Structure 1
């Protein structure tokens, strides 16, 4: 799987690929669900490579860490998804 930062860079710099309607789905801890927003609603600061800003309903910018991004959609189609840590097979440590 392609790392998220590389995908975001491709969207920004690859004109042919970036010509689409992109949405980011991130895990909202308060709502306890994945929330989708158009990529155009997000603000990426030049120095903030590990987060983005999103304006809430009250007009206040909230910083969202990139590790909470779970999905990326292009023209309504899921093109990237972070594995769900709760569903990963975990190696068990044998009991002594």
Structure 2
């Protein structure tokens, strides 16, 4: 399986691959639910190999460890999934 960091980088930097409609699902511990965001809401900070910053729909920033990213969908179809 492709490491999630590599997939997020490809979504961000590959101009052909990134033309698709992506949804990234992450587990929120407080809500005990998986939330989906667009790649534009996921910010990778240079040098941080353990987490990403996610801006939710209300504009609030959350630091999310990479192990809590659970799924990536491309054009409505799953292309990456982390088993529990």
Shorter-chain TM-score tier: 0.7 to 0.9
Instruction: Structure 2: state its 5+ residue gaps.
Output: none
RMSD: 1.6
Show structure 1 runs of 4+ deviating over 4 A: none
Tell me, yes or no, if the aligned pair for 2:11 and 2:39 is still in contact at 8 Å: no
TM superposition score normalised by structure 1: 0.75
SS of alignment partner, residue 49 of structure 2: coil
- Residue pairs, 1:61-80, within 5 angstroms: 61-80=61-80
The alignment covers a number of residue pairs equal to 83
Aligned to 1:26: 26
TM superposition score normalised by structure 2: 0.84
Pair member with larger Rg? 1
Distance in 2 between residues matched to 1:20 and 1:52, nearest whole Å: 21
Instruction: Structure 1: state its 5+ residue gaps.
Output: 85-96
Tell me, yes or no, if the aligned pair for 2:12 and 2:39 is still in contact at 8 Å: no
Higher relative contact order (CA 8 A, sep 6+): 2
Q: CA offsets per residue over residues 35-71 of structure 1, 9 Å max, x none?
A: 11111112211122221112343x4421011110000
More strand by share: 2
